[in-house]
Amino acid sequence: MRKRAAKTKALVKKTVREYIDVFKELLQAREQNMTTKKSRVRAVSKEESRAIPDEEIRQLAYLKWEKAQPSPKSSNEFWVEAEQELNGAT
């Protein structure tokens, strides 16, 4: 009886460790993906506009965000959209 319990316990520990490892890999992949997206968004926003005041972009981005709720988009994506829209209008 004790041997079976010990084997079951060892199996559970192994399974939990495997799940933890997979979870860590998923978190790392997500962080890398988010970092890549943020750097792309920053690069685009820096290249596209310096003439438009940040306050104007902020206001339009907020309006876009407010209309889109609930939205899976990040605030950076709304900022870039607003910046692009204002650049096209100038």
The domain in which residue 21 lies consists of 2-89
What does the pLDDT read at residue 49? 45
What pTM was estimated for this model as a whole?
Answer: 0.40
What does the pLDDT read at residue 73? 83
Number of domains in the chain: 1
Taking only the tens place, the pLDDT of each residue in 26-67 is 777 777 777 666 666 665 555 554 578 888 998 999 999 889
Share of the chain above pLDDT 70, in %: 78
Rounded CA gap, 76 and 88, in Å? 18
Whole-number Cα distances in Å, 12 to 5, 25, 47, 65, 76: 10, 20, 52, 45, 42
Rounded CA gap, 25 and 32, in Å? 11
Q: What average pLDDT does the structure give for the chain?
A: 78
